A = this chain, B = another copy of it.
Amino acid sequence: MNCTLAETVVDALRQVLGNAPLALHEPRFGGNEWAYLKDCLDSTFVSSVGKYVDRFEAELAAYTGARHAVAVVNGTAALHVALLLAKVCPGDEVLVPALTFAATANAVIYCGAVPHFVDSEVSTLGIDVAALREHLSEIGERRDGRCINRRSGRPITALVPMHTFGHPGDLDGLLAVARDYGIALIEDAAESLGSTYHGRHTGTFGLAGVLSFNGNKTITTGGGGALLTDDAEIAKRAKHLTTTAKLPHRWEYRHDEVGFNYRMPNLNAALGCAQLEQLDCFLASKRSLHAAYARTFTTIDGVALVEEPAGTRSNYWLQVLLLAPELASLRDEILGATNDAGLMTRPAWVLMHELAHFSNCPRMNLEVATGLAARLINIPSSAGLVGVNA
């Protein structure tokens, strides 16, 4: 029988997943979620202060190895504050991948700064460090310890790699570029809770890192995020800025700067504490799913399952199929067939520079990101789809 590639992919997914309809990524609540939510409700401390916020922050720090974690309302808010604390000023430029979710670039705009789009590499799906270095050697100029974009005249203040679908980027290379050019490194680790680079947790390499606990992430707090940092002053400033910059006082309401209402409610932190207890189990299950996919897709010509980069351990947040370049034209047919079959799949985000409102932002040659976006498909990736060690 002659099958189309789309039919073959549907069959392969069904072989691993069975016949039930499946979302791309669903949360699992199999631990203490209800117990902690109920306890939180019974305490009446559901809002901006409470023991679950403190506990969630302490446990995130312990899990990731960051000295400090500050829980906030979502990953976007964490990134906004991280950029402000990296002293990103209005009119500055911030290097971000073109291949990322819009929040990475939006947070730059919130600072009044300009995203400057950077190409990706196939092996990590993250920033191509060699290409970035070459780009900076052309346009970047060190002046008084800062990096100035010679073409625009604007300072390039921060570099924000994003660990795409959970796969850690080339952090040694990124740190070296950042150091060489006097640029602050802020990791967008929204997708990579549980992912490590040479044994160290993503989000802990730069000045600050950012996690997300949105409903589609490896663990969820409903909505939520966190800022990670080893710098006590950054942590203190992050807590202050995200809690309206109110000065502590027995009764006086005085703020010493323009702050934000970005704190994570205790109710959401209660859910996070229960989820975090199950993270290692979720990660094991997602690795088993990856292994099952690998066994199945290895037999399909022209369709590669993306593996964690060398030297890293990925959380495999979203599993990725990469079509061979000559099969890119079949991407939408595969997306259609799989979604028609009730198996939710998704292409990469439309690249940032292809969005009308970012089309005039500075950018380097983006041919690898463009090629990746044309042939990349995310497939169902929730924890619990196959048993651990299946």
Contact = CB atoms under 8 A, between A and B. Distances in A.
Interface in A229-252: 244-246, 250-252
Contacts of A326: none
B41 A33 contact: yes
Given A222-B265, A251-B345, A254-B350, A214 B47 contact: yes
A8 interface: no
A345 B250 CA distance: 10
Given A214-B47, A263-B223, A265-B223, A255 B41 contact: no
Nearest to A46: B222
A252 B346 CA distance: 7
A74 B261 contact: yes
Interface stretch (A102-110, A142-150, A179-187, A194-202): A102-110
B355 A255 contact: yes
A356 B256 contact: yes
Contacts of A260: 76, 106
A181 B103 CA distance: 37
Contacts of A267: 222, 267-268, 271
A215 interface: yes
A281 B71 CA distance: 34
Contacts of A347: 251-253
A128 B337 CA distance: 63
Interface centre among A37, A264, A346 (most CB of B within 10 A): A37
Interface in A354-372: 355-357
Contacts of A390: none
Given A27-B44, A37-B37, A37-B41, A222 B76 contact: no
Contacts of A222: 46-47, 265-268
A255 B48 contact: no
Number of chain copies forming the complex = 2
A258 B350 contact: no
Contacts of A42: 29
A126 B163 CA distance: 49
A26 interface: yes
B223 A48 contact: yes
B47 A253 contact: no
Contacts of A244: 102-103, 106
Contacts of A41: 29, 33-34, 37, 271
B76 A250 contact: no
A217 to B, nearest CB: 9
A260 B244 CA distance: 18
Contacts of A48: 214-215, 223
Contact of A38 (B34, B102, B220): B34
A159 interface: no
Interface string A49-86: 00000000000000000000000011111000000000
Sorted nearest first, the 4 A-B pairs with minimum C-beta distance are A47-B215, A222-B265, A222-B267, A76-B261
7 contacts: A28-B44, A77-B261, A106-B244, A106-B259, A223-B264, A251-B347, A252-B350
